[in-house]
Structure 1
Amino acid sequence: MNVYLYWPLLLLVTAVAMLRGSRDARAVTAICVLASVATHFAVAPVALRYSRIETGLLIIDQATLAGFTLIALVSQRFWPLWVAGLQLTSTLAHLFKALHFTLMPQAYAAAERLWVYPIFAIVLIGIVRHQLRLRGRLPS
């Protein structure tokens, strides 16, 4: 994950969610921020990164999945279910590594990290649709 792209994008999506988003968007982005900060402290040293199961990241991913699933279950909207589903895909990367220990570290890292960008896109689409509903341009 390119930190020069990821962190500004995370902060931008979070700011938009806090200023214009629904309760769901604010909750999803808050979880993303907490998970990102926790990941910074849980990741293995560079020499070992993704060469074995990243237990700390697995725990963070499972907690994130639980949070996203809870939001999806109580939400009136459908988009949080997509977010939870994409997080499930990210979480399953750890299972793939456990089943195929020879999985290349780069493939494991990509499978584990890739889905955050579509999650950001879905959150932004949810915010746009929320604003359109508030202006009466979309049915409730």
Structure 2
Amino acid sequence: MTRHVAFLILLIASSLYAAMRGGRPEQIGAATLFGGAWASVFAADPTRAHFRQLETGILIIDMVLLAIFLWLAIRSTRFWPIWVAALLQAEVFIHVGQIVVPAAGWKAYMNALAVWGWVAQIVLIVATWRHRQRLAQQGSDASWKGGPASRPPIQRG
């Protein structure tokens, strides 16, 4: 099995698990990672050899994904989106490295970008599993900061 097929299986499995068993932040994260992975496949410039120079389309996608996960980190009650945002920031830095040192080698550029996608999928699986644990232990798991569900109940009398 090639690493592409293995990643596709992991991508589909983690996305389905988060979509079916996760809270709203996990579902948004799954859709974002799934969409970003597929968009990246089509964003690579087909008129030239891939990863031989800066992949501008993939850089733009990574920056959009980073923005979405930063938003999730700020708005949701979850800690895991900041981890995925950090992984995406590492990917953006790798693109910057390709600009600064274009002779570093296309395989290093390609593999350095790919490794973070694997880790992000694993973070999503663990995040969804933790959400299920909180639901089982506490009966609820507030998804968003500042909403009525995230405030403690008012004590009267």
TM-score if structure 2 supplies the norm length? 0.82
Q: For the residues of structure 2 that align with 1:139 and 1:8, how far apart are their CA atoms?
A: 30
Q: For the residues of structure 1 that align with 2:35 and 2:140, how far apart are their CA atoms?
A: 33
C-alpha deviation, 1:85, in angstroms: 0.5
Tell me the amino acid that sits aligned with residue 120 of structure 1: Q
Tell me the amino acid that sits aligned with residue 72 of structure 1: A
Q: Report 1:12-23 matches (<5 A).
A: 12-23=13-24
Give 3-state SS (helix, strand or coil) of 1:9's partner: helix
Q: Is the 8 A contact 1:21 1:130 kept in 2?
A: yes
Aligned length: 140
Q: Give the equivalent residue in structure 1 for 2:63.
A: 62
Tell me the amino acid that sits aligned with residue 66 of structure 2: L
Q: Is the 8 A contact 1:24 1:75 kept in 2?
A: yes
Q: Give the equivalent residue in structure 2 for 1:124.
A: 125
CA RMSD of aligned residues (A): 2.0
Give 3-state SS (helix, strand or coil) of 1:56's partner: helix
Query: Once the two structures are superposed, what CA deviation does each residue of 1:44-90 show, in whole Å capped at 9, x if it has no partner?
Result: 34961111100111111111111111111111121111011111101
Task: Specify the structure having the higher radius of gyration (Cα).
Answer: 2
Moved over 6 A (4+): 137-140
**Unaligned regions of 5+ residues in structure 1, if any?**
none
Q: For the residues of structure 2 that align with 1:84 and 1:22, how far apart are their CA atoms?
A: 18
The answer to whether the aligner puts 1:25 opposite 2:32 as a matched pair is no
Q: For the residues of structure 2 that align with 1:44 and 1:2, how far apart are their CA atoms?
A: 21
